[in-house]
Structure 1
Amino acid sequence: MKIGIAQINTTVGDLTGNSQRILSAYKALVADGADLVLFPELAVCGYPPRDLLFKSRFVSDTEDALDAIAQQIGSVPAVIGYVQDRGPCITGRPFYNAAAWCESGEVKTVAHKSLLPSYDVFDEERYFEPAEGPTVYEWQGQKVGITICEDIWTHPDLKTSRRYCNDPVGKLAEQNIDLLLNLSASPWHEGKNEAREPLVQDAAERCGCPAVYCNAVGGNDELIFDGGSLAAHPERGLVAGLAAFREENHVIDLASPAGYVSEQFNLKGNAATQAALVLGLRDYAHKSGFKKALIGLSGGIDSAVVAAIAAEAFGPENVVGIALPSAISSQHSRDDAAALAQNLGIEYHEVAIAETVASAESALGDLFAGRAADVTEENIQARARGLLLMAMSNKFGALLLTTGNKSEISVGYCTLYGDMCGGLAVISDLPKMKVYALARHMNLERELIPVNTIEKAPSAELRPDQKDEDSLPPYPVLDGILRLYVEEGLSRAEIVEKGYDSEIVNDIVRKVDLNEYKRKQAAPGLKTTPLAFGVGRRIPIVQKYVS
């Protein structure tokens, strides 16, 4: 059997555009000899639709779009993800996360998702009713099991599997199916792709048949879908692997011993992080209607990495870098910013803020008389930069990118309405040491980011001779504590047991908790770790719990 995998990039709510993408991929794969074509989860409406589902016509419009698609499907079946209205019901949620088997101009059967994730960024129990079990559809004398995303995430080694009493793969194994299909929209984070291949292989072995997994690709808000669709055989192992972080349509011959694995399948490490951020930024901007990016260049490592990602995502001709030196900005920072812009080939300008800062300080002079200068005056500089950058963003219609990393945002080492201004926080889920690693990776072939930018001590340059380590522990220490506290949820005592100094741990945990209000007002950021700040982490701003 030849399975066409349609790894397509959909946009949430773009029913017309998504329908065109589905039909175009279907026709291409049929022309390439596919016997059956598989699409991602919720391909018609895009994933995740979230509360668009509660708009009065959204689900009915999605169903109409699916019906229109089905009418154009020929004798080669297509299995397509969409939302189905349950109709008048007394209990439960109003919709199903569904997959339609379309063939010969009509929908032959509909499968429903059994396991509904409601952790991290997922909230499917808010909208969908679970199926009682997976669907088996008989086609051309073969029994085809249809599952949707989470339905196969039941391996006992996975923490997520402990949330469920139901095992769809086990139920399908009992029915002696001949083929297992999985429609997926599985967002990427570091380590995610390493988990998928053994998961699909395990499903194939348990069911004793080939398993074909079609994943979505592209960015939707903070989520990045990496594709990496694959097929596994119970005896031959991996027989197909599609490219990561880009669209790809490919026909897989399950009977062929040769198989197909793209060179871009299962990217790892810094290469995967770079590809993910470029894809996430490009889609966030282009799907929102932005064609140009604007970045404040400080001469530091964070803005340099963001600029390099933007140059790749937009093309260097569509990126503008702005240096905003103050009266205390160092010459080497200005030189490093200019060198970066030249290396990347982006447009570059300097806009001095000394007069703007002096004007603000003068306006506040009488009110602040008799009070010593402190962080207030430092923040005036940062907010002057935010003011001017937002003005340029408005004037030129360019998306302003914020440049804060996860380490700084965690502890509030950032200025609200200052360097936090912008439409997207590109590296807000990258710890500082990961930013350095990514910068070095970007420089492997040629110097994009000036070596001085990488090697010099990091500084906000809001006061003379300022260094980040004046206010923070060394970044390797800080990142280690933050990983344990923010991502793993350990208490202060448990972190100290790992070998960290108790005074430092107490200070960092206090800063993380105190700065929740800042993060609630931050620009959305691209998710790259198992737990990012954003919709997947819901900590109250006003709370008194001390762990």
Structure 2
Amino acid sequence: DLDRLVAERRRSTTWTRAGDAPEATTVEFSFEGVLAKEPVLRDACDIDRVFPRAPFVPADHGDLAERCETILGLQTAGLKTRLAHTGTKAAVIGLSGGLDSTLALLVTARAFDALGLPRTGITAVSMPGFGTTHRTKSNAESLARDLGVSFREVSIHAAVEQHFKDIEHDPAVQDVTYENSQARERTQILMDLANQTGGFVIGTGDLSELALGWATYNGDHMSMYAVNASVPKTLVRHLVRYAADVFGGRIAEVLLDILDTPVSPELLPPTGDGEIAQKTEDLVGPYELHDYFLYYLLRFGFEPGKIYRMALKSFEGVYDAKTVHTWLRTFYRRFFAQQFKRSCLPDGPKVGSVTLSPRGDWRMPSDASSRLWLAQIDALNPVD
């Protein structure tokens, strides 16, 4: 895989150019004219190698458990360092009953334990709004109680309704204003509670959401330390499942139910039977596909056409060509359009080889054009 070799040599500062080492030999070669002589090269879509569907997740279960412990340790070490450096003995987390905030709370509890601080210094805040369901609200409270952290419930209904009146927004119009007003109200509550307690807000958003821009600017996008910023959604699930195995008992039951809950920002009213109506993967696509695209784009710099062919092979029998093509285009469109949110991210630990931190591995102007990439995707034939 020449693209991969080039990417690895570009990343590795220990690679020596042939001209700098007398023992190295340069061998020139070319594929020009080869096809006319004999069918050595096959069609680009005819590949045997199958790339892992979940490149962020080890395939071996034993390795997975070890990797999960390592990642949790790195997240914990990063937060522990920040707490110690600032002399902070309190933290505030918006606990929704979803995967990301659950992982953030687990990491924060470990950090407080490592510092010898009481877990009561952690305030988990449930902020029910127009889309909050009984299931997520109950799981959030149960998890907080079982972990021994402080728990508060602050409804955002009245504040957001007043805000709608102030800006003259009709609450019957459930558009982006309707949704983002709730996210920003929650962030205001968390920031002010952090001031009250002398602590700071722990961010919960993950790497996959940052790639897609699936966060409200200056809403859940903002915090004082983002512990999940370099953990993709597919890996978040395994970290929470690993934690369930470690804890066992009542905490494991709650964690497993959180794992079974559809991923949702819960900003739109529930269905008539009280179930989640707004499911993230129905709107932006399956996270397993987006994490696949993200990994091979950032880790090796593969072009969309190559990633598309790889995905067809990796997800054969799971997603058809049209589905892969549709979400690949969505991924690239959103990835370019949402860079402005990544340009002003809060600090967070790097726990793997892929990160989108503007202070780390990723440099990208917010107005970078996606035209060339989208043109390549549009030229693909999803029927093939």
**TM-score, structure 2 as length reference:** 0.72
Three-state SS of the structure 1 residue aligned to 2:196 is helix
Cα deviation, 1:454-505, whole Å, max 9, x if unaligned, reads 1111111001311111212222112111111233222211111113422211
Given that 1:472 and 1:478 are in contact with CA atoms closer than 8 Å, whether structure 2 keeps it comes out as: no
Cα deviation, 1:27-70, whole Å, max 9, x if unaligned, reads xxxxxxxxxxxxxxxxxxxxxxxxxxxxxxxxxxxxxxxxxxxx
Residue 434 of structure 1 pairs with residue 239 of structure 2: no
The letter of the residue matching 2:110 is E
The letter of the residue matching 1:401 is I
- Give the unaligned 5+ runs of structure 1: 1-119, 121-154, 168-189, 192-266
Query: Taking structure 1 as reference, are residues 486 and 371 closer, same or farther at Cα in structure 2, changes over 3 Å only?
Result: farther
Radius of gyration: which is bigger?
1
Given that 1:439 and 1:454 are in contact with CA atoms closer than 8 Å, whether structure 2 keeps it comes out as: yes
State which of 130, 136, 139 in structure 2 corresponds to 1:336.
139
State which of 341, 354, 369 in structure 2 corresponds to 1:544.
369
Three-state SS of the structure 2 residue aligned to 1:408 is helix
Residue 412 of structure 1 pairs with residue 213 of structure 2: yes
The letter of the residue matching 1:333 is T
The letter of the residue matching 1:456 is T
Given that 2:174 and 2:268 are in contact with CA atoms closer than 8 Å, whether structure 1 keeps it comes out as: no
State which of 160, 175, 178 in structure 2 corresponds to 1:377.
178
What's 1:325 paired with?
Answer: 128
**What CA distance in whole angstroms lies between the structure 2 residues aligned with 1:463 and 1:417?**
19
**What CA distance in whole angstroms lies between the structure 1 residues aligned with 2:9 and 2:299?**
22
Question: Aligned pair count?
Answer: 295
Given that 1:311 and 1:318 are in contact with CA atoms closer than 8 Å, whether structure 2 keeps it comes out as: no
State which of 463, 467, 471 in structure 1 corresponds to 2:279.
467
More strand by share: 1
Larger relative contact order (Cα-Cα within 8 Å, sequence gap ≥ 6): 2
State which of 454, 476, 479 in structure 1 corresponds to 2:288.
476
Three-state SS of the structure 1 residue aligned to 2:209 is helix
Q: For the aligned residues, what is the CA RMSD? A: 2.6
Given that 2:164 and 2:171 are in contact with CA atoms closer than 8 Å, whether structure 1 keeps it comes out as: no
Equivalent positions of 1:291-306 (< 5 A) are 291-306=89-104
Cα deviation, 1:413-449, whole Å, max 9, x if unaligned, reads 1111111221111011111110010011112232435
**What CA distance in whole angstroms lies between the structure 2 residues aligned with 1:358 and 1:349?**
21
Query: Taking structure 1 as reference, are residues 156 and 435 closer, same or farther at Cα in structure 2, changes over 3 Å only?
Result: closer
Percent of aligned positions with the same letter in both sequences? Answer: 26
Three-state SS of the structure 1 residue aligned to 2:284 is coil
Moved more, 402-411 or 476-485: 476-485
**TM-score, structure 1 as length reference:** 0.51
Per-residue deviation, 1:373? 3.3
Query: Taking structure 1 as reference, are residues 268 and 446 closer, same or farther at Cα in structure 2, changes over 3 Å only?
Result: closer
**What CA distance in whole angstroms lies between the structure 1 residues aligned with 2:102 and 2:80?**
17
Three-state SS of the structure 1 residue aligned to 2:364 is coil
The letter of the residue matching 1:461 is E
What's 1:499 paired with?
Answer: 311
**What CA distance in whole angstroms lies between the structure 2 residues aligned with 1:502 and 1:343?**
44
State which of 72, 96, 104 in structure 2 corresponds to 1:274.
72
The letter of the residue matching 1:354 is H
**What CA distance in whole angstroms lies between the structure 1 residues aligned with 2:75 and 2:206?**
13
Equivalent positions of 1:203-222 (< 5 A) are none
What's 2:25 paired with?
Answer: none
Given that 2:284 and 2:327 are in contact with CA atoms closer than 8 Å, whether structure 1 keeps it comes out as: no
What's 2:46 paired with?
Answer: none
Three-state SS of the structure 2 residue aligned to 1:444 is helix
State which of 149, 162, 176 in structure 1 corresponds to 2:15.
162
More helix by share: 2
The letter of the residue matching 2:227 is V
